[in-house]
Structure 1
Amino acid sequence: MPEALRADARHNHDQLLTAARAAFAEHGTEASLRDIARRAGVGIGTLYRHFPTREALLQTLMRDRFDGLGRRAAGLFAEPSPRDALLTWLTEVAAGSATYRGLPESVMAALRDEGSELHASCAAMRAAGSRLLERAQAQGAVRADVTTEELLALATGVAWAGEQSPGHPQMAQRLLSLAMTGLAR
């Protein structure tokens, strides 16, 4: 019988994630948790057993993306142009932050709150970006007074701007390119 419960719990977990992706895509990160549970065909208590907070749900949905951004930064470290590597990574951070309306605010809040469910993934992503920034600064491609927090705020701000301009798909790339010009020594 425990096997059946584990299979049932796994099914509920997967259904909740599928429903959350759809709800967040439609309504942003502030989508109703009751609606997510309803879409998944479970009660709100089941949702909270699997995901005690909204952030826990977001963490589960976004962990692979944030971890991927950390790995991507490590891969870009070998690129010949530190400036281009940093711009590529920031563009991908902005794109990842735009996955769901409201996610940029959640990312920035998580970076400031060590108790946040999202903090560990966001902090690992920040550390990976720090290495790219330090390399660009050491090569003289970026001003020495720029911090990783400022770059992440810039990328999430660009993601937010993209949310406000859905008819301009290249907006994020253009804004980041302009910002990189301003960040140059």
Structure 2
Amino acid sequence: MRADARRNYERLLACAHEAFTERGEDAALEDIARRAGVGIGTLYRHFPTREVLLAALLADRLRGLTAYAEQELDQQEPCEALINWINAICDHGKIYHGVAAGAMAQLLGDGERDKALVEFDEACTASQAAGDRVLRRAQAAGVARPDITRAHLTALVHGLVQATKNEPELFDRLLAVMIDGIQRVTSPAS
């Protein structure tokens, strides 16, 4: 990709993130192109469908989560790293929870769609592995329940995001309860 095309691609992804953060599933492609300072044709050259854009955006965001885990969380105490990871995936989930399901359901086909799915799948796998490392490190340090898995954590986050979609004021309280439940509690009797 030429340098100017790469800049447009990256600017489109950054503006798509802003638009989906503000408007959720209703973000308009025309608005994304305008924010990026390009024409709608440029957007479609990079992302032939809304679903391809969403898959690329999700892959980009998941790669960011993976980098965050690898570059920052590895430097933190295990309990702090786990809490920060949970907060990061919750923030991701609040923006992309509904958007991701619809996009992935539409991405069955050929060409660009297959490429977008492969990139999304690779980014998802890497992000899950990073989350697993953060959780296992907390478990090894004795600060997280040993019987919880990364899949459990993911299900809890998805459930929390879905449960508070229409009542966002409950999110922080329920997140605190979830984190308390994940942290290892040693009873005074033991």
What TM-score bracket applies, with the shorter chain setting the length? 0.5 to 0.7
Which position in structure 2 is the counterpart of 1:181? 180
Q: 5+ residue gaps in structure 2? A: 106-115, 185-190
Q: 2:92 aligns with which of 69, 93, 96?
A: 96
Q: 5+ residue gaps in structure 1? A: none
Residues 79 and 144 in structure 2, CA contact (< 8 A), matched pair in contact too:
yes
Does 2:44 match 1:42? no
* Superimposed CA distance per residue, residues 28-87 of structure 1 (whole angstroms, 9 cap, x where no aligned partner): 3365668877997536xx65542244443124334443223212222222322x223211
Hey, what's the Cα distance between the residues in 2 that align with 1:18 and 1:84? Answer: 28
Q: 1:69 aligns with which of 65, 68, 73?
A: 65
1:138 Cα deviation after fit:
1.5
Hey, what's the Cα distance between the residues in 1 that align with 2:151 and 2:91? Answer: 17
Matched to 2:134, the amino acid is: L
Q: Percent identity at matched positions?
A: 43
- After superposing the two structures, state which structure 1 stretch, 82-91 or 149-158, moved more: 149-158
- Give the match's secondary structure for 1:102: helix
TM-score under structure 1 length normalisation = 0.66
Which position in structure 2 is the counterpart of 1:78? 75
RMSD in angstroms over aligned alpha carbons? 3.8
Residues 137 and 176 (structure 1), Cα distance of their counterparts in 2 relative to 1, 3 Å cut: same
- After superposing the two structures, state which structure 1 stretch, 172-181 or 11-20, moved more: 11-20
Residues 76 and 85 in structure 1, CA contact (< 8 A), matched pair in contact too:
yes
Aligned residues: 170
Hey, what's the Cα distance between the residues in 2 that align with 1:15 and 1:184? Answer: 39
1:158-169 equivalences in 2 (<5 Å): 158-166=160-168, 168=169
1:120 Cα deviation after fit:
1.8
Which position in structure 2 is the counterpart of 1:123? 125
Residues 93 and 156 in structure 1, CA contact (< 8 A), matched pair in contact too:
no
- Give the match's secondary structure for 1:141: coil
Residues 184 and 52 (structure 1), Cα distance of their counterparts in 2 relative to 1, 3 Å cut: same
- After superposing the two structures, state which structure 1 stretch, 14-23 or 63-72, moved more: 14-23
Which position in structure 2 is the counterpart of 1:153? 155
1:128 Cα deviation after fit:
0.8
Residues 163 and 104 (structure 1), Cα distance of their counterparts in 2 relative to 1, 3 Å cut: farther
TM-score under structure 2 length normalisation = 0.64
Residues 115 and 16 (structure 1), Cα distance of their counterparts in 2 relative to 1, 3 Å cut: closer
Hey, what's the Cα distance between the residues in 2 that align with 1:184 and 1:108? Answer: 33
- Give the match's secondary structure for 2:64: helix
1:11 Cα deviation after fit:
8.7
Residues 108 and 138 (structure 1), Cα distance of their counterparts in 2 relative to 1, 3 Å cut: farther
